[in-house]
Structure 1
Amino acid sequence: MEPVSVITGGAGGMGLATAKLLGRQHRIVLCDVRDDRLDAATAALDDLGITATAVHCDVTDADAVAALLKTATDLGPIASVVHTAGVSPSMGDADYVMTTNAIGTVNVNEAFFGVAGEGAAIVNVASMAAHMLPDSLIPSGHFPLAVADRDAFLAEMATACSIAPEEARSGLAYALSKSFVKWYSAAQAERFNGRGLRIVSVSPGSVDTEMGRLEEKAGAGAMVTDAAVPRWGTAEEMAELLAFCVSDRAGYLTGTDILNDGGVIASMTERARRNAAFGQVST
Structure 2
Amino acid sequence: MSDVVIITGGAGGMGSATAQVVGTSHAVVLCDVRQDRLDAVACALKGIDVTAVNCDVTDRAAVDGLFATASGIGRIAAVIHTAGVSPTMGAADYVMRTNAVGTLNVNEAFHRTAGDGAAIVNVASMAAHMLPDEMVPDQHFPLAFTDEDAFMAAMLAACAVVPEEFRSGIAYAVSKSFVKWYSTSQSERFGRNGLRIVSVSPGSIETEMGRLEADAGAGAMVADAAVPRWGKPEEMADLLAFCASSRAGYLTGTDILSDGGVVASMRERARIAAQNA
CA deviation string 1:68-94 (max 9, x = no partner): 000000000000000000000000000
Structure 2: distance between partners of 1:34 and 1:222 = 30
Aligned amino acid, residue 125 of structure 1: V
- Counterpart residue number, 1:2: 2
- Counterpart residue number, 2:95: 97
1:28 is displaced (CA, Å) by 0.3
- Counterpart residue number, 2:16: 16
State the secondary structure of the residue aligned to 2:88: helix
Aligned mate of 2:230, from 229, 232, 237: 232
RMSD: 0.6
Structure 2: distance between partners of 1:212 and 1:147 = 30
What pairs up with 1:196-275 in 2 under 5 angstroms?
Answer: 196-275=194-273
State the secondary structure of the residue aligned to 2:99: helix
* Unaligned stretches of 5+ residues in structure 2: none
1:218 is displaced (CA, Å) by 1.1
1:143 is displaced (CA, Å) by 0.3
CA deviation string 1:101-137 (max 9, x = no partner): 0000000000000000000000000000000011111
Structure 2: distance between partners of 1:52 and 1:30 = 7
- Counterpart residue number, 2:136: 138
Runs of 4+ off more than 3 Å: none
CA contact (8 A) 1:162 1:169 kept: yes
Structure 1: distance between partners of 2:85 and 2:219 = 15
Structure 2: distance between partners of 1:173 and 1:158 = 7
What pairs up with 1:1-283 in 2 under 5 angstroms?
Answer: 1-45=1-45, 47=46, 49-279=47-277
Structure 2: distance between partners of 1:11 and 1:133 = 28
State the secondary structure of the residue aligned to 2:205: coil
- Identity in percent: 70
Structure 1: distance between partners of 2:220 and 2:2 = 43
* Unaligned stretches of 5+ residues in structure 1: none
CA deviation string 1:191-228 (max 9, x = no partner): 00000000000000000000000001013333110111
Structure 2: distance between partners of 1:143 and 1:220 = 27
1:147 is displaced (CA, Å) by 1.4
CA contact (8 A) 1:212 1:221 kept: no
CA deviation string 1:15-73 (max 9, x = no partner): 0000001001100000000011111111111x2x0010000000000000000000000
Normalised to the residue count of structure 1, the TM-score between the two structures is 0.97
Structure 1: distance between partners of 2:124 and 2:144 = 16
CA contact (8 A) 1:161 1:172 kept: yes
State the secondary structure of the residue aligned to 2:215: coil
State the secondary structure of the residue aligned to 1:86: coil
1:11 is displaced (CA, Å) by 1.2
Structure 2: distance between partners of 1:250 and 1:103 = 27
1:244 is displaced (CA, Å) by 0.4
Structure 2: distance between partners of 1:25 and 1:219 = 38
The size of the alignment, in residue pairs, is: 277
CA contact (8 A) 1:18 1:242 kept: yes
